[in-house]
Amino acid sequence: MEYANENQILATQARSFAALAFVPVEDIEESFRIIRQAPDFHQDLVEFAAYFERTWLGTVGRPALFPPELWNMRTRTLENDPRTNNGVGKWVVIRQ
């Protein structure tokens, strides 16, 4: 049972990184810090968190490869705008 509980914690924390796409841009770094500094932060996510920070948030002296303004979906979601640039996919769904 403990194994299942640990996997659930890992899965929930992993999803927290994806949820950052729906946090206001100005709050993303603080939200990331809260996730990363949680007392029960799963050790299997340490490397992923470092990758996420380098690639999606940037570090001191090194800008993000994909800055939050590029991938944040909060405004698009609230305004009911498309969250993808794949217009063909939408057309296919409409035609079905």
Of the candidates 9, 64, 1, which has an alpha carbon nearest to the alpha carbon of residue 38? 9
Across the chain, what does the average pLDDT equal? 88
Contact 77, 84 (CB under 8 A): no
**Residue that has been written with the tokens 């640990």 in this structure:** 6
3-state secondary structure of 92: helix
Kindly report, residue by residue over 71-86, the tens digit of the pLDDT: 999 998 998 887 776 6
Q: What is the pLDDT of residue 80?
A: 86
Between 76 and 30, where is the model more confident?
30
